Amino acid sequence: MTPARPYADRVADYLRIGEVAQRVGVSVDTLRRWERDGRIVFARRGQQRYLRADELAKLLRERTREGRTSARNRLTGVVVAVERDGVMAKVELACGDYRVVSLMSREAADEMELAPGVAATAVVKSTSVMVERGR
């Protein structure tokens, strides 16, 4: 009979890099960059990267404290127009030389009290534009 591996070495205690990326809300490439920068340390088994579950919990706690997102582009500006209909709202911002338009739920626009003249930030990631109001 083969002896059981120590608790810290069980496969169930480790998550593959793709699973970590999904739970943290970043890409696998971002995790690889963090590893190169020394922000995170993965265990290796062959060519695969694994992270201990307790290290994932630590990373998630740190990111919650930091309030970070994976979005890189933030354009601060002023709301110049808001068109609301039954369910949706179209919000237009002037961000320096740029005009940014975001489609969102009417409920979100109402909760943020978006109206012409209100300062807001367009948070751009991939093909999505999110709007956040100053803190």
Predicted pLDDT of residue 119: 86
Residue that has been written with the tokens 């740190």 in this structure: 62
| Domain interval for residue 121 | 73-133
How many Å apart are CA 13 and CA 24, to the nearest integer? 17
As for how many domains the chain has, the answer is 2
In a domain, 2, yes or no: no
Instruction: Please check the confidence at residue 82 and state whether its pLDDT lies above 80.
Output: yes
CATH code for position 19? 1.10.1660
Instruction: Please check the confidence at residue 6 and state whether its pLDDT lies above 60.
Output: no
Residue that has been written with the tokens 């930091």 in this structure: 66
In a domain, 4, yes or no: no
16 shares its domain with 51: yes
In a domain, 5, yes or no: no
What is the arithmetic mean of pLDDT over 74-92? Answer: 92
How many Å apart are CA 35 and CA 42, to the nearest integer? 7
Residue 125 pLDDT class (50, 70, 90 cuts):
confident
- Mean pLDDT, the chain, rounded, equals 82
**Residues of the chain with pLDDT > 70: what percent?**
80
Instruction: Please check the confidence at residue 85 and state whether its pLDDT lies above 60.
Output: yes
C-alpha distances in Å from residue 4, one per residue of 8, 15, 29? 11, 20, 34
